[in-house]
Structure 1
């Protein structure tokens, strides 16, 4: 699977985990140079507290376009520290 934004592959993995129709990419399979820390957080009733990244490619910023669970609940441990995308990021084979 590939995550693409602004015509750039920002993550690529053959080992994503699918939860609620979202592909979660292992942290080692994302291209960290495109990711900027965000102060945003949300809470999922069963996965726990999510943290976010902004994505920046060629000077263009996509705010809070990636999320992950740094300390996932017991039920969501398989996706702990895996990164998922939205807000215009295309995930494709």
Structure 2
């Protein structure tokens, strides 16, 4: 698509600016750009697994709150886990 072509062009430009030696070897730039989709897949896989674990934790903690009457510890724990997930999502965009 047009947005993918634009992002590839901007990546190519950024790489050329970051390392002037790459402008002399355009094949190296193309090889680096070929690795980019694999990197994205791995990064999104890890984020997806983090979110899945988060929702599983919330689901399990909700079923255990019916068995217990003290929700203060569970609420604090849920807030802590939510903040940790948000930190992961912000730190590794």
Larger Rg: 2
More strand as a share of residues: 1
User: TM-score with structure 2 length normalisation?
Assistant: 0.21
User: TM-score with structure 1 length normalisation?
Assistant: 0.21
More helix as a share of residues: 2
